[in-house]
Every structure is written in structure tokens, then in C-alpha cells.
Structure 1
Amino acid sequence: MANFPLINMEKLNGAERGVTMDKIKDACENWGFFELVNHGISHELLDKVDKMTKDHYKKCMEQRFKEMVAAKASEGVYGQVKRYLN
């Protein structure tokens, strides 16, 4: 089994730039994702973005659930009225 794509961002500035770019290209074409290391982004910022993303996803899912419940309730009412009229 092939290794998970791991890209060292420090190698983009130097003699290994071409090899690193080839690794990114391969990861995109064959895996669809990769992990970046030595990117310079603090763990605190990554944790904050992770939390914000999860909170946003949760709110979106809650809204979709509410809309689904409302739609099903409307369908139920419409079905009852339709049966009554027939």
C-alpha cells in the first residue's frame, strides 16, 4: 500500500521545489488530498478554524433538519386536506 501523501512546505523554497511540486501534483491526481507539514500556521489558529467549521456544519445540519420537518409537516397537512376533499 502506498504511503499517505505528506508534503513538507519548507521544501518549496529551495533545491527540492520541483520534487515537492511533483508530490503535490501526484497527491491531487491520485489521492485527492494530502497533509501539509511545516506550513507555519499555529496550532491555536488550526484549532480555532476546526471549531468554527464544526460549529458552522452543526448549525447548517440543524437548519436542514428544521426545514425537512417543516416540509414533512406541510406534506402531511396537504395530504390530509387532499383526502378530505376527495
Structure 2
Amino acid sequence: MEAFPIVDMKKLNDEDRAAAMDMIRDACENWGFFEVMNHGISHDLMDKVEKLTKEHYSKCMEKRFKEMVARNSLDSVQSEVKDLDWESTFFLRHLPDSNMSELPDLGEDYRFMT
């Protein structure tokens, strides 16, 4: 079984840039995702985002999801998603246009993270 692509972001700034770009293109076309390493984002920030995302879902999204399941008579689905990793379904984009305004339940601490 082939392993999914892992892109080393440091390679985008050296002589391996073309190969890294090819890997990203291939990953997007054939996998739909890839893992990123050496991205330069601090572990502290990633931990904070994870914490705030879990708080957001525990307050808002999980309740809405369960209401939708009940409303649509999808009881069998509800039992299958008990252990869903909620942050893996969270999609927030900033470029080219942010979708922050489409997520009204996000707290101020999430919107203005430093």
C-alpha cells in the first residue's frame, strides 16, 4: 500500500523546489491531501488552535450535528460518529477570501488569535 504524500516545506526554498512542487501537484490531483512538515508554525500555536477548536465544537457544532441527525432520522449515523475527531471536520480559510463571517459561533479568542 502506498503511503500518502508528505511535503517538506523547507524544500520549497532550495534546489529541490521543482520536485516539492511536483509532489504537491500530484498529492492534490491524486490524493486530495498531504501532510506538511517543516512549515514553521509553532507547536504552541497549533496547540492553541486545537484547544479552541475542540471548545468550539463542544459548545456549538456537536449539538447542531446531533440535532440534524435526529431531524433527518439518521439514528444509525449518530451511533457511528460518536468518536469522530471533531477538529478534522473544521474548515477555515483565509485566502483568497476568509470564511470567518460564515462561522458566527466562533469566539473572539479564536478570531483574534496571536
TM range (shorter): 0.5 to 0.7
Match of 1:78 in 2: none
| Residue equivalent to 1:50 | 50
Unpaired stretches in structure 1, ≥5 consecutive residues:
72-86
Deviation at 1:38, TM superposition (A): 0.6
Which residue of the partner structure matches residue 61 of structure 1? 62
TM-score, length of structure 2 as denominator length: 0.53
Match of 2:78 in 1: none
Task: State the TM-score, normalized to the length of structure 1.
Answer: 0.68
The whole-number CA distance in structure 1 between the counterparts of 2:65 and 2:3 is 38
Number of residues of Structure 1 aligned to a counterpart in Structure 2:
70
Query: Which residues of 2 match residues 1-86 of structure 1 at below 5 A?
Result: 1-58=1-58, 59-65=60-66
| Rg (Cα) greater in structure | 1
Q: Shift in Å at residue 68 of structure 1?
A: 7.6
RMSD: 2.1
Q: Distance in 1 between matches of 2:67 and 2:19?
A: 49
Q: 2-side partners of 1:7 and 1:68: how far apart? A: 37
Runs of 5+ consecutive residues of structure 2 not aligned to the other structure: 72-114
Name the one with the larger helix percent: 1
Aligned partner of 2:49: which letter?
A: V
Q: Give 1:3 deviation, angstroms.
A: 1.8
Secondary structure at the aligned position of 1:32 is classed as coil
User: Percent identity, aligned pairs only?
Assistant: 51
User: Offset of 1:63 from its aligned partner?
Assistant: 4.0
Q: Paired residue for 1:81?
A: none
Q: Alignment partner of 1:36: what SS?
A: strand
